[in-house]
Each structure stands twice: as structure tokens, then as C-alpha cells.
Structure 1
Amino acid sequence: MTSRKRGRRAKARRRRLPLRYLMPVLVLAALMAMLMLRGYVHSEILADHRIAPSTYNDQVPEAIRKGKPVIDVRGGKINTVGVPDDRVVLTFDDGPDPEWTPKVLDVLKKHDARGVFFVTGTMTSRHPELVQRMVDEGHEIGLHTFNHPDLALQSTGRIDWELSQNQLALAGAANVRTSLFRPPYSSFAHAFDNRNWPVTEYIGGHGYLTVVNNTDSQDWKRPGVDEIVRRSMPEPGKGAIVLMHDSGGDRSQTVAALDRMLPDLKAKGYEFTNLTQALDMPSAHTPVSGLDLWKGKAWILLVQAAEHLTTVLAAGLAVIGFLVITRFGLMLVLSFLHARKVRRRGFRWGPPITEPVSVLVPAYNEAKCIENTVRSLMDSDHPVEVLVIDDGSTDGTARIVEDLRLPGVRVVRQLNAGKPAALNRGIANARHDLIVMMDGDTVFEPSTVRELVQPFGDPKVGAVAGNAKVGNRDSLIGAWQHIEYVMGFNLDRRMYDLLRCMPTIPGAVGAFRRSALQRVGGMSEDTLAEDTDITMAMHRDGWHVVYAENARAWTEAPESVQQLWSQRYRWSYGTMQAIWKHRRALVERGPSGRFGRVGLPLVSLFMVLGPLLAPLIDVFLLYGLVFGPTGKTVTAWLGVLAIQLACAAYAFRLDREKMVPLISLPLQQILYRQLMYVVLLQSWITALTGGRLRWQKLRRTGVVGSAPGGGPRPVDPAAPADRRPVT
């Protein structure tokens, strides 16, 4: 392949890269859009009375104020029409409702009656099958706007939108358009005023018949069946348009009143027809075809998808709520028990461990950090040999260590083969039975190695996890990671320690028995999270894995969003790989089966499924802020935040950390947590699509150094680090 072709392919890969990163964002945006759509079509229908106070009516033509309930201003002419004698047109507003509309239709069918249903677009979109039933059973459909606003308060653009969206929903539900319209909050013709009459003129100019009423049941007030029947009765022998409702609340009285009045009026010679039949006019329905039909069908499909998706998301919210409460509850209780256990006076894991330890430092282009790392080990109060395994560095990492000429420090060189291979090379060259592993950007306190190996006094312990802490916490993103390390990682490790299912020994600070490593085959290259992989292998082999809280290591956390994304993407994807690799533990016996049926479910729920569903908390917060109930939504979100704050404060107290960084916890939940959501979602997408992820090396600055007495201190940065990935 020529260099030109390679260059073109490299450019093509770079062009594709943003789409891969954008995919999780697009998925979350799509979910949010569907939820917003669902919220929009669930807008509340208010009681059927005017929201705005009445105004003067001197601009309303007298022919309207003293006219009939069917108003025709098409073509610029004003004409009003009433229903002929001995005919009743039953009209129903605000539907269709999934509970009451079928009951109303059943009563009408029982008594062979027809009516007119003035439907809203929101309810039509949600229950298209009911609108189709209305048409199939011979009823007439009229528009009642899309989401029931007072049109007298709206612009002409909003009025056009309400009508067109209402027609779109009707086309998608029943393949028809209609020429009938009833304004929300309308009543009698004489009630028109200077504010709503221009709306009627405007809508009439678009070809609609406006239908009000001359007999109002006022069933929305629920005055009782007898009163509804009384108010719905036409004058003897006269025709009437009766206003009723099949939605907007409990309509049991309406259904009962219909069942009583229909046979009574029929016995008196009344007919119950739809409007155009009563007026001997062409049908109000026009078939829809072509693009308009497909647009309507697509709209209904989207709304139905949003309805079903919201049901799934609501179930997911219930799951994540349970997981959050359960996890925080377990963390608080078990962390307390763990601290009480290891901090009680006289507690010992077993006989003190004083034998020398081999410390392995795999390094690839760690020129900025390696001197600080090695010198911190030289300050150790426990005897150590240090092996720096240079994994094909190109920045002189190995030479820097050799030039230090420190006693007990050896450099092992190899061609670039990756971190697991470097660690296995170190294990083969180590002289001692206890092996500590750390990263090339990490700094140990003088007591770290001693504290880390004391649990090996218990012969059942095969590996020990230390307490990794963020050294570069001065920036906002560093402070957020500091909170995450203290709260999320270390409280988790205390909990998993007592449950005997520690999922991960951090690569920055961990210790192993050589015999335990040999029994499980050493470090594996099967996953991108070799630390999680080896920890699970230890459990399955029957070893105990414990947490040493005083074995503190100061590590350099990513300082940019891009680096943080790369690191967490690798962690998340690697954890999924490790879970999948050790899935057979679910059905095995002995220690492996115990870990499989206790550890794997907990890790899957709390580290994979829980974080994946956690965005629903914030998604439904936005939903509640827009569509309500706002107060309850904000209270629930603040309640979850309060629980997290309590856990974080307790974690900081256990780690003897200052509480000041917790001031930024609410902002962390709003911003930083969203990034973690997207990273995990991208990991899921990669896993489900069978993608492969290369191990990415983070850019280091060397800001974490050793200080007398332990702890981090800033150091001057050196030249830019090589950012070539380990392959």
C-alpha cells in the first residue's frame, strides 16, 4: 500500500471518529425527544369554561349573536343554521378517552344513535383506534384543536398550527379530514365577543363550519345524572345540538345520563343523527391519500412509539431508583461495618508481614512521571525491590530510571507489547513471593507498601486492593474525579470486601501472592480491563480479595474531557468484557459459583446496568420541569442528590478528607455525570455492535510528585509526552 493511500485511509478514519463519539449523544437525544413528544401529547385538558374574561361584543354581527349554533362564514358570507325539529345532534368534546369514550360509543351503539365527536389532536394521537371506531360506526368527527388552548389568546400562526396538527392526527388515525370545528371553551352563539369572533371569522375563511351548541349539559361539573338529563333535554318538539364530554375527567354520570335519555327521547319521536345528516349537507369527512396520509401515519407511529418507549423508560426509572437506594444503603451500612472491623483496637489480619516485596512498575513513555514514582518507592518503610518494565518506550523512560542509579531498582526492557505482557514479564523477573503492582504515573506514601501487604497475614487472601486517590485535584474536573474516587470507588470496595466479591484491584495500587497469580495464569490480554479480569479470576480460584484503606496511592487523573472519555470508555468496555469472559461462574460450583451468583450480578447491576439507566433520573427531571408536576419532580431529584451527598460526606469522613470539594457535588451531578452516562452508552453500543477498542495511553503531565511524609505535591512539567497508543 502506498503512503498516499495510507494517508487517505487515516484521514477517513479521523473523519469517522466524531460520528462514533456522537452516536451515544444522538441516542440520548433521540430518547429525550421521544419523551418530550410523549409529554407534549399528554398536555392536560382543562375544564370546559373560558380561561380569559369576556370582553365587549359590539364588533360581533347581530346575525351571530342572535343566530343559530352552526356558523358558516365561508366565502365571506355570514350564515347560521340550526338543527331541524325533532332531531338531536349529540356532541362530545375533548376525547377520545381510553376509559370513557368506548363506554359512550357502546351506549350510542346500543340505542342506534349517531353523534359528533370533537377530538383533540393530543388524544387522537394517543388513541387512534378509538377515532377509527367512531368513523366505522357512522359518527362524525370535528376538530377541537391539537392541545386545547383558548384560541382568542393565540396568534394566527398558532391557530393554523393547531388546526393542521389536529388534521394530521386525524388523517393518521382514520384516513379522513373534516370540515367541522368547535373552539375550546365555546358555549352559545350569543356568547361570542370581540376577542373570539375574529378567530371564528379566520377559521371560517379556511373552509371550516364552526359548531357551538344551544343545549349545554354542563356534565363537566358532574352535577348528577338527573341534572345532566334535565339540562340536555331540547325544548319540546325542537331540534338541539347538545354539548357533552367523553374525556377530561370522570364521565360516569355522562354515560349513565345518555343511557337514560336516549330511549326517552326516541319514544318521543326524536332522531339522533350526525350533524351533516341533520342539516342535509355533504359529509364533513374527506378521504386523505398520498403524502398527507403517510405524514399522518408517520405521526401516529411516532406518538405510539413514544408512548411505549415511555412505559419502558418509566420501568427503567423504577429499576434505577431501586438500584440507587439499594446501593447507597448497602454502601453506608457495609462501609460502616468494614471500618468498624478494620479499625477496632488490636485488629490484625494475621502475623505481621515483614518480608521483602517486589514492586512492578509497567511503563510506556512515562518520562514525565517515572522519577517521582520510583523515588516515592525508595522512601518506603517496607523493604522492596523495584522492577520498572519498560514496554518499548520512545521517550527515554528506561534511561531516566537507569541514570538514577538507585539501589534495589532494576529496569527490564521489552518490545512494546502492552501492559499485561509487561506485568507478566515483571512477575517472571520478580524475586519475592509478594508482588505489588502500580502505574508509572502513581506516587506511593512511605507506608503504602507496608499497609498493602499486611492482609497477606491471612493465608486465604490472594490479592489486596489499595486506596487510590487523585493527586491533581486542583482543577474542577480533577475535583469531580476526587469525589468519584473517594465516594464511588472506595465506599464500593469496602462494601465488596465484606460481601467477598471485590470486582477490581486498581492498577494504581494492588498486591498479589505470586502463587495466586500463577494458579490463574497471570495477567490476561483478553480484556481491556486486565485489573478487573485478574480480580475476577482470583475470586473464581477461591482466594479472598480485600481492601486496605491505609495503603494510599496518589495517581494522576485525566485533566481533559477527551482523556477522561478515553479512560472511562476503556474501563467501561473492559469491565463488560471481563463480566462476559467470566460468565460461566454463574453455573459453576464452589468458590467460582459463589462469585458468579453473588459478585457478577452485583457488579452487573451496580457498575453496568445501574449507570446505564441512571440518565433516566435526569431525563425525567427535564420532563417534569417542562410538563410537571414540577414541585414533586424537583423534590424527588433533590432527594436523590441528598442521599448521594450523605454517602459522599460519610466517604470523605472515612478517608479523613476535607469536605470542601463536596460543594461542587451538585454541579458534578449535572455535568460530569452526564459525560459518564454517554461514555457508558458508547461502551454498550461498541459491545452490542461487536466493535473493538484499542488500549489508549493517556497524556501525562507529571503534576503528582512525592513529598516528605507522604501525599502529593506539584512538580514542574517536562517536555510533552508521547501519546502513541500501546498496542
Structure 2
Amino acid sequence: MTGARPLSRWVGLGIALVLLLIALCVNGYVRHVGGEGTGVPRHTGRPIAADPAIRAGGPVLRVAPGQPIRSLRPPSRVLALTFDDGPDPVWTPRILDVLRRHGAHATFFVVGAKVAEHPELARRIVAEGHELGVHTYTHAEPAAIPGWRQRAELAATQAVIASATGTRTRLLRPPYASTPAAVTRADAEAMNRAGAAGYLTVLADRDSQDWRRPGTAAIVRAATPPAGNGAVVMFHDSGGDRAQTVAALDRLLGATRGYRFATVSQAVRLDPAPPAPTTLRLRGYALTGVQRAGAVAASAMSVLLGAAVLLGVGRLLTQLYYSRRHVRRTRRQTHRQARFGTVSVIVPAYNEAANIAATVRSLAASDYRPLEIVVVDDGSTDDTAGIVTRLGLPGVRVVRQENAGKPAALNTGIAAATGDLLVLVDGDTVFAPDAISRLVQPFADVSVGAVSGNTKVANRGGLLGRWQHLEYVIGFNLDRRMFDLARCMPTVPGAIGGFRRTALADVGGVSQATLAEDTDLTMAVIRAGWRVVYEPHAVAWTEVPASLGQLWRQRYRWCYGTMQAMWKHRRSLAERGPGGRLGRRGLAYLLLFQVLLPLTAPAVDVAAVYGIFFLPWPQIVATWASFQALQMITAAYALRLDGERFGPLWSLPLQQLVYRQLMYLVVVHATVAALLGDRQRWQRMHRTGQAELALAARRT
């Protein structure tokens, strides 16, 4: 597999995540920055604009740099009805129906984000003879935002209007605007910036105050000008329940005789809105597409985050429940010291010079007798076989073969062994003196074909070591307790596992079909009708990767091999008995929590970044703290069950920063490789021999 192909996949994943973040941020900006309009002026009580031309002018104003202020007002008996904050899928159509019934026309000052959501309403407004004006993109108050953002808000709204209707507009009503007399200095500066972009600012002569919902009669009174006067009248077609607005509009149009109801442009004799250029329409289409993608992504992320939290919490609670049951069952069992004749220990070894002496010495020191230890040197290029030979330990023999891989070495050792019970051991593992005695006790039950021991991390110094130590104790061992009770143990670890010879014969020995030979073998044993159990008191210590690169290679092999084993044994889903339990319980659990859930993690992290900027901080902190607290409780309980110290718990929250990302990226890479059918080879971890030293230091 070339280096360019994985690199291209990571680049593709990175681009996809960046696009997802952009879409989410657009959605967050649209929905969480501006908010819904209420019509409430925000600058009430601030100093009034000094220029009397604005204070005393008409409601339609042209304010531009270096030009005199011009104002326009409707002539007598002409009412320019205006509606802010829409379009709204509920209230805008009802208002349009009332206007059509009375043959009246109006101007709708629309929020750009809502036009992007409901372009069909913008098209209907224009098609029925009404006109559109800009009300910013997110209902942001121009006087309260920087100039660059004001320009962006106006340009974006203009673009989506163009894409929805094919026209553009020169009319602008700032959110929270009222009458000319209420304009402040900051408002005037914002109007000046808008004027430089070619906009006319449309305020109001009559504010209906419908946003207060004071009742139909009060709205009609507020909207009706003194007899004979023309006016620009402000209503709202969005931002809440507008039933009173609809009723008041119907009454106003029916009761006001002798008035003409026109758009703002018609009322003050402005030229019709020009058609939009193609480039502007294209920008509008692009913006609408991004906003819609953001809305879909945000909805999907909400579901995904909810599912991830529920699954994560559910898994932790399930682990706690089954672990407690497993402890109670173990305590009820009598401590047996059955003897089964010769137990053979098979140690496949390839270039294990750093650890093989410690491994063999710990096995030879076992309290179980009679014991046979077979070390299979799989074509090592170092002095692995020589080291074992020079130890001169009784009951230990070395079998040499050309390099053929770990499964072949195991099969060679099985063929050379004489015992009916076989313990398969990695060449970097150190056994407790009573580990083998405890490991073989469950074989007193003739239905048991394999037993998983308790693998612990020896070199747990540093953050990486602590994180792996916690993972072994919390994830692997709690899961094994649960799998034991559910009778669907998918993996007996290569570090310490016991097998009945007849069970191995039933499945044809150790297969070389996958990179996870231990998982493949365990699944085959279960499907052959044997029980696989967990013995937590059979303890062995193993050396784990000491660098991120080594950890990546090891976990990638595990993950890819596990997927291979799951695919190989997929028919167990439809089987009955032990095979069915493995398929419908064990494989389903692995698929959900070791494949599918990690695959969603990159998107979940993107959603977390989005939440930092757009969601309430108390909500984020509370959610994170609650989940961390539950993890801490679970971790503390798991450490207690395993007789471990609580010291490493402080590093658990830090796992979210590096370790978690590395683990889910491993799953992503392995999944893509599996789907593309890439051929993988076994990658050996570099051994340092530090495990024995670390273990000795803790024992002293």
C-alpha cells in the first residue's frame, strides 16, 4: 500500500470536515447571532441624530457620504403598507391572502436567511405585485455591528432575493427601526454606509405596534393616519403569533375608504426594481445551498450527538451493571484447585530478545505443575532462541522454524505440545505466579472451550502508558465481564488465553485468514459450540506501545483484523445457539461501539467546535462535565475491581485531546481500507524490554 493513498484519504477527510464545519457555522450564524425580530427599538433613549433633515424628514431617506440628505413621503390618501421580519411560512401567506382579497399591494422587508429557507414565498410576493426590501440577513441591527458585517449582511440578502425572484431591490429597513424622530447618531452612520452602497432607508410614519399584540382594535388605531394624510405603515409578518396582525390588516383595508394602498416605490414614485444580474443570482444560489446544507448538517449533528451521548452513557451503565453481576457470580463460586494433568504453554516468538527471558522465567515460576513450555522461534534474526536455550530452565524447549507468521508458529507449538489444555502466550508477556492455575480452573466445566485471562499494562509510565492502562482496565476488562455473562466473548487475547485441545481441533487450529488471529480463533471456537469465559484473577502483564506511531500501527492491525474476523463470521448472525449469541450480541456490539460509533467521532468533534462558538457555554460545560463524571465513576469502579490504584484517573479527561482522536482515526483508516479491499500485512511492534523493569519497580 503506497503512502500517497492514505495521505489522499486523510486530505479528503480533512476537506470534508472543513466543509462540514463551514456549513455548521453558516447555520449557527444564521440562527444564533441575529435572532428573531421583535420590532423593539434597541436604541431608545440614546441621543437623537443632530441633523434636523433626518428628524423632520419623510420616512424614505437617501443618506449618502458627501451628498445632501433627501427624504420622500407618500402623498395624501396613499398608504404604503410594509411588513418586517419575514417571510414566514405560516403568517406571510395569510397576509398575502388578505391583500389579494382587497386588491392592495405592500412592501415586504425580508430577512435574507428566511428567504433562503422559503424562496417560494419571496417569489409569490413578487408575482402578486408586491415588492421586497432588505431587512439584513440575520436580523442584525446595522448600528450595533461593524461596517464590514453590515455590508456582508446587505449583500447576502440582496443575493438570495436575486436568486429567488430574479430581481434586486434598493430599499432597506434596518431591524428595530421606527420613525425618523427616533433615529440616533449610530443609526445615521449605518444609514450613511447603506447609502454609499446605493440603498434608500425606509422608516415609518405609523408604527402599528403589532409586535406587542395589544389587540386588533389597538393595532388598527396605531396604523391609521390622521384624516387624509399619506403614510408608510409598519407591520410584521413574522417573529411570533401574528393572528392579530392579520385581523387588523383585514379591518384596516376594509374600513379605510378613499385610500390607495401601494408599495413604497409606487407611493413615492420610484422606478421599478431592476432585474438581477446573473452573477448576483449565482451567488444567491450558492449561499442558499450552503445555508440549506448547514441546516441539514445541524439537524443531523443534533441527532448524531444525541445518539452518541445516549450510546456512550448506555454503554458505561451497561458495563457497570454487568460488571457488578459478574463480581457477584465470581464471589459465589468456590475457589477450586483442580489439576488437569500437563498444561502446555505455547510462546510464539519473532525477534523478542528484549522480553523473551522475562516471559519464560515468569512462566517457569508458575505454581501449576506439571507444566510444559514450548517456545516457537519463528525465524528470528536476533538471539531470541539462544536466550531461551541459555536460561536452562526445566520443562522449557525451543522449536525453530522459518519465518511463517504468528498463526503458523502457534500451530507448530500446538502440534509439538503434549497437554490437553494449551495456554497461548505472547512473547512480551509476564505472568503472575498463579496466573496459569487460575486460568485453567474454568475448564472443570466440560462445556468451556477457551478462557480469557486479565491482561494488564506493564509499562504504564507517562501519559500514553496511563491512557492505555485505563483503556485495558475500563474498556477491555469491563467488556469481557459483560461478554462472559452474555456468553458471546469475541476475543481471547493473545497475551493470555487458555484453550482446550479438542476445541482447537474442532476449528482446525489457528487460521491465517485475518490479522487478528486471536479474535478469529475465539469466534470460531464459539461457533463450534464451545463456551468462552473470562477469568479476571488470571493476571499477566504486557508491554504496550511507547509512542504514538507504534500505537497507531498496533491498533490499526487490531481494528483491521477485527473487521476481517467480523466479516468472516458474519453468518453467525443467522445461526442458533452459541453462534447466534456471538452474532447477534457480540458482533452487533463490536459493530456498534468499535466501528460505527467511532466513525461518527470526527463529525461529533466538528459539532463540538461549532457548539463552542454558537451554543450556550453553561450547556456545553454541563454536558461535558456530566459525561466526564460518569466516565470517572466507571473508571474508578473498574480500577477497584482490578485491584489497581486510582492515581491514573487524573489523566482520563486528557484522553479527549489526543488519544480519542487517534483511536477514531484508526477506525476511519481501517474501515476505508477494508471497503476498498486493500491488502494489509502483519506489523510487529518494536520491543524495548521496559515492561519487566516497570513491573519490577511497581512490585518493590
For normalisation by structure 1, the TM-score amounts to 0.89
Structure 2 residue corresponding to 1:680, chosen from 662, 667, 670: 667
- Supply the distance in 2 between the matched residues of 1:580 and 1:110 (Cα, whole angstroms): 66
- Supply the distance in 2 between the matched residues of 1:136 and 1:518 (Cα, whole angstroms): 80
- Supply the distance in 1 between the matched residues of 2:169 and 2:312 (Cα, whole angstroms): 50
Q: Secondary structure at the match of 1:524?
A: coil
Alpha-carbon distance, 1:196 to partner: 1.7
Please show how residues 65-104 of structure 1 align to structure 2 within 5 Å: 65-73=55-63, 76-104=67-95
Answer yes or no: is the 8 Å Cα contact 2:163–2:285 preserved in 1: yes
Gaps of 5+ in 1: 1-9, 716-727
Answer yes or no: is the 8 Å Cα contact 1:445–1:706 preserved in 2: no
Identity %: 50
Answer yes or no: is the 8 Å Cα contact 1:471–1:712 preserved in 2: no
Q: Does 1:168 align with 2:156?
A: no
Structure 2 residue corresponding to 1:315, chosen from 296, 299, 303: 303
Map of 1:188 onto structure 2 = 179
Structure 1 residue corresponding to 2:632, chosen from 625, 629, 645: 645
Q: Does 1:515 align with 2:505?
A: no
Q: Which moved more, 1:445-454 or 1:688-697?
A: 688-697
Map of 1:40 onto structure 2 = 29
Q: Does 1:341 align with 2:329?
A: yes
Q: 1:677 to 1:236 in 2, by over 3 A?
A: farther
Please show how residues 360-379 of structure 1 align to structure 2 within 5 Å: 360-379=346-365
Map of 1:151 onto structure 2 = 142
Count of aligned pairs? 695
Map of 1:326 onto structure 2 = 314
- Supply the distance in 1 between the matched residues of 2:22 and 2:374 (Cα, whole angstroms): 54
Alpha-carbon distance, 1:553 to partner: 1.5
Please show how residues 703-722 of structure 1 align to structure 2 within 5 Å: 703-705=690-692, 711-713=695-697
Answer yes or no: is the 8 Å Cα contact 1:76–1:205 preserved in 2: no
Map of 1:433 onto structure 2 = 420
- Supply the distance in 2 between the matched residues of 1:19 and 1:576 (Cα, whole angstroms): 22
Structure 1 residue corresponding to 2:115, chosen from 120, 124, 131: 124
Map of 1:405 onto structure 2 = 392
Equivalent AA in structure 2 for residue 91 of structure 1: T
Map of 2:42 onto structure 1 = 51
Q: Does 1:200 align with 2:191?
A: yes
- Supply the distance in 1 between the matched residues of 2:383 and 2:133 (Cα, whole angstroms): 80
Answer yes or no: is the 8 Å Cα contact 2:572–2:583 preserved in 1: yes
Q: Which moved more, 1:132-141 or 1:367-376?
A: 132-141
- Supply the distance in 1 between the matched residues of 2:545 and 2:11 (Cα, whole angstroms): 21
Q: Secondary structure at the match of 2:86?
A: coil
Equivalent AA in structure 2 for residue 141 of structure 1: L
Equivalent AA in structure 1 for residue 159 of structure 2: L
Structure 1 residue corresponding to 2:487, chosen from 500, 524, 547: 500
Q: Secondary structure at the match of 1:652?
A: helix
- Supply the distance in 1 between the matched residues of 2:253 and 2:351 (Cα, whole angstroms): 88
Equivalent AA in structure 1 for residue 25 of structure 2: M
Q: Does 1:593 align with 2:584?
A: no
Equivalent AA in structure 2 for residue 153 of structure 1: A
Gaps of 5+ in 2: none
- Supply the distance in 2 between the matched residues of 1:295 and 1:59 (Cα, whole angstroms): 38
Structure 2 residue corresponding to 1:356, chosen from 342, 345, 348: 342
Map of 1:179 onto structure 2 = 170
Q: Does 1:608 align with 2:599?
A: no
Equivalent AA in structure 2 for residue 293 of structure 1: R
- Supply the distance in 2 between the matched residues of 1:280 and 1:252 (Cα, whole angstroms): 32
Map of 2:276 onto structure 1 = 287
- Supply the distance in 2 between the matched residues of 1:168 and 1:353 (Cα, whole angstroms): 83
Answer yes or no: is the 8 Å Cα contact 2:510–2:521 preserved in 1: yes
CA displacement 1:571-626 (0-9 Å, x = unmatched): 22222222222221222233322332233222322322233335566544433332
Q: Does 1:460 align with 2:450?
A: no
Structure 2 residue corresponding to 1:696, chosen from 683, 693, 696: 683
Equivalent AA in structure 1 for residue 338 of structure 2: P
Q: Secondary structure at the match of 1:176?
A: coil
Q: 1:398 to 1:259 in 2, by over 3 A?
A: farther
Q: 1:246 to 1:672 in 2, by over 3 A?
A: farther
Answer yes or no: is the 8 Å Cα contact 1:473–1:479 preserved in 2: yes
Map of 1:215 onto structure 2 = 206
Q: 1:705 to 1:288 in 2, by over 3 A?
A: same
Q: 1:53 to 1:113 in 2, by over 3 A?
A: closer
Q: Secondary structure at the match of 1:413?
A: strand
- Supply the distance in 1 between the matched residues of 2:26 and 2:677 (Cα, whole angstroms): 32
Q: Secondary structure at the match of 2:537?
A: strand
Q: Secondary structure at the match of 2:186?
A: coil
Please show how residues 460-499 of structure 1 align to structure 2 within 5 Å: 460-499=447-486
Answer yes or no: is the 8 Å Cα contact 2:43–2:184 preserved in 1: no
Q: Secondary structure at the match of 1:286?
A: coil
CA displacement 1:14-60 (0-9 Å, x = unmatched): 45544444544444444333322321221223533343464434632
- Supply the distance in 2 between the matched residues of 1:40 and 1:358 (Cα, whole angstroms): 66
Q: Does 1:633 align with 2:620?
A: yes
Please show how residues 386-405 of structure 1 align to structure 2 within 5 Å: 386-405=373-392
Map of 1:5 onto structure 2 = none
